Structure 1
Amino acid sequence: MMLTRLLPLALLATPLALASCGQDNDSSTDAAKLEIRLMDAPGDFRNVVLDVRQIEVHLKEETTPDGWQLLPFQAQTINVLDYVNGKSALLVSTDFEPGDLKEIRLLLGPDSYVIGRDGQRYDLKTPSGQTSGVKLKLDNTTLRERETFQLLLDFDVAKSIVERGNWKAGNDKKERYLLKPVIRVVTQELAGGLRGTVTPAAALPQVLAIRSAVTVPDTFSTAADAGGGYQFSGLPAGTYQVRIYPSTTAPSGQPAYKLAVRTGITVTNNQVTELGATSLN
């Protein structure tokens, strides 16, 4: 699990219903503030709905089973495709005892599903999330007095939803997809951003940002919105190649859509790099 750090200004949040609690005693003035947000890397579905029942954090080493603490969160279903291109959903905001966090765990219920491009609903089977929960390790995560610490859970739809190899049209819709969550944890301190527009938006552009000047290249993905806009948040600083490609073909009689590649793009902490407009014609 890759741990990076997030800049608060990059989150144009649309809050979900949430339960937030503060400490009612005098010690609250020395408390830390913990926020947990969710955003998405898009996939090829109309809706991806997660049935999230509870959220916990682990305060002790992994081998200590009694270190889990339940967070104030209202169980709900969340369409993660509502939170792309810089938007995020606020799940938890609460006063918290300063100290180290070791893991975060999401407990999922049985009602997760997707709506496919065909308009059909397909239930998502969750092999482990309904029992032991989806656990994500946290490295060097320390809450300090009178400071806000933010965890962004970057859900990767394309990698998280797996089609069964032996499923065929006409089979039980409940058996088509498995949910095996792939979630990148982005924490507070990283401040890089990247945004731009693509024309024509009718090409349904997909966008990759690749940081290659590292031992293991980092690849981040998103999709342009209906107006052709896209945005990456919480990127590590560095030099990137941006690859923009169409996910559909041009109508008959119109110029073909082509792959566009932008190189030498610099991303800096505390700034959002503007790429401007890119054409796929």
Structure 2
Amino acid sequence: MKYSGLLPFACAALLGLAGCSKTSENADTAKLEVRLTDAPGDFQSVVLDVRQVEVHLKDEGNPDGWKTLGFSPQVINVLDYVNGRSALLVSDDFAPGDLKEIRLILGPNSYVIGRDGQQYDLKTPSGQTSGVKLKLDKATLKTRETFQLLLDFDVAKSVVERGGWKPGNDKKERYLLKPVIRVVAQDLRGGISGTVSPAAARPQILAIRSTILGPDTVSTSADVSGAYQIGGLPSGTYRVEYFPSTTAPTGQAAYRNVVRTGVTVVNDQVTTLGTTSLN
């Protein structure tokens, strides 16, 4: 997916999520959930060694503002969580108030399995020290409500091949993790879903909305079945563009770029576009 800003350690959070629903827990607390979802990428697996999840409660730069959440260290194949599926990382009772940042501390055991079936270590320059940090916008926990942060991980932009790498080199040195993560905001609960035909075209899909600041673009890729879903979209009218990433076999009609206009997204609903033909 494409985002409007970058952080030093990751692509910045565009926005800060939350879905608010009543909870029957302690009347003086809120409930905080953290979930992880993903856009498909050109790998068999992308496994993150997540050791710790923290949120920052004070002004930026204050080292005393970090609070560790109740998270059990685990390895997560982010490609298991695409097209609307998400992994629940944290579900904690929490004091009401504002959250400023969230960060993930990653261990040394992250890796990818490429299309060649080989496993490659995934180096994380920042995530193993200061953590993958994401700023939050308008993230306010309220008493007796559940607040959810959805971390939307973009594999295609986050896993970067080292410059100058050649087959035959040490496979441990092929890939770096430079996380590109969108944090979906409180009032952004619209979406677009559909399928493409033929699925073998494996297109990149862009949802583009015009704003006073210029085009706001979010992207994903269709999975092997041709299905796709883009969540966390603000209400509005979108142009949806499809760009095949493969070439049609000899003797078959060529794959083509397709543009669909006038796609309406409404808050709290997923707009279904049906099947889009790419040849």
Does 2:10 align with 1:3?
Answer: no
Which runs of 5 or more structure 2 residues have no equivalent in the other structure? 1-11
Which of 83, 89, 113 does residue 91 from structure 1 map onto? 89
Q: Is the 8 A contact 2:139 2:186 kept in 1?
A: no
Distance 1:158 1:191, change over 3 A: same
TM alignment of 1:138-157, pairs within 5 A: 138-157=136-155
Distance 1:65 1:4, change over 3 A: closer
1:200 corresponds to: 198
1:29 corresponds to: 27
The Cα of 1:63 is off from its aligned counterpart by: 2.1
1:75 corresponds to: 73
Q: Is the 8 A contact 1:84 1:222 kept in 2?
A: no
Which runs of 5 or more structure 1 residues have no equivalent in the other structure? 10-21
| Secondary structure class of the residue paired with 1:29 | coil
2:278 corresponds to: 280
CA distance in 1, matches of 2:20, 2:155: 23
Deviation per CA, 1:170-213: give whole Å up to 9, x if none. 11111111111111111332221111111111222321111233
Which of 55, 71, 90 does residue 57 from structure 1 map onto? 55
Does 2:42 align with 1:44?
Answer: yes
CA distance in 2, matches of 1:57, 1:132: 13
The Cα of 1:4 is off from its aligned counterpart by: 5.1
Q: Is the 8 A contact 1:4 1:236 kept in 2?
A: no
CA distance in 2, matches of 1:53, 1:65: 19
1:15 corresponds to: none
Distance 1:67 1:6, change over 3 A: closer
Among all aligned residue pairs of Structure 1 and Structure 2, give the percentage whose two residues are the same amino acid.
72
Distance 1:216 1:85, change over 3 A: same
CA distance in 2, matches of 1:29, 1:173: 53
CA distance in 2, matches of 1:93, 1:40: 19
CA distance in 2, matches of 1:242, 1:187: 21
TM alignment of 1:251-270, pairs within 5 A: 251-270=249-268
Query: What's the TM-score once normalised by structure 1's chain length?
Result: 0.89
TM alignment of 1:110-125, pairs within 5 A: 110-125=108-123
After superposition, the CA RMSD in angstroms is 1.8
CA distance in 1, matches of 2:261, 2:225: 23
Deviation per CA, 1:111-148: give whole Å up to 9, x if none. 11111111111111111110111111112211000011
Q: Which amino acid in 2 is paired with 1:45?
A: F
| Secondary structure class of the residue paired with 2:64 | helix
Deviation per CA, 1:7-43: give whole Å up to 9, x if none. 589xxxxxxxxxxxx98xxxx2221010000011222
| Secondary structure class of the residue paired with 1:142 | strand
| Secondary structure class of the residue paired with 2:272 | strand
Does 2:167 align with 1:163?
Answer: no
Distance 1:76 1:152, change over 3 A: same
The Cα of 1:101 is off from its aligned counterpart by: 0.7
| Secondary structure class of the residue paired with 1:102 | strand
CA distance in 2, matches of 1:188, 1:80: 23
Distance 1:157 1:279, change over 3 A: same
Deviation per CA, 1:57-109: give whole Å up to 9, x if none. 11111221111111011101111111111111111111111111111110000
CA distance in 2, matches of 1:107, 1:241: 37
Q: Which amino acid in 2 is paired with 1:59?
A: L
TM alignment of 1:221-232, pairs within 5 A: 221-232=219-230
Q: Is the 8 A contact 2:19 2:147 kept in 1?
A: no
CA distance in 2, matches of 1:248, 1:186: 30
CA distance in 1, matches of 2:174, 2:208: 31
CA distance in 2, matches of 1:43, 1:99: 36
Aligned length: 265
Runs of 4+ with deviation above 2 angstroms: 4-9
Distance 1:216 1:223, change over 3 A: same
Q: Is the 8 A contact 1:39 1:155 kept in 2?
A: yes
CA distance in 1, matches of 2:139, 2:76: 26
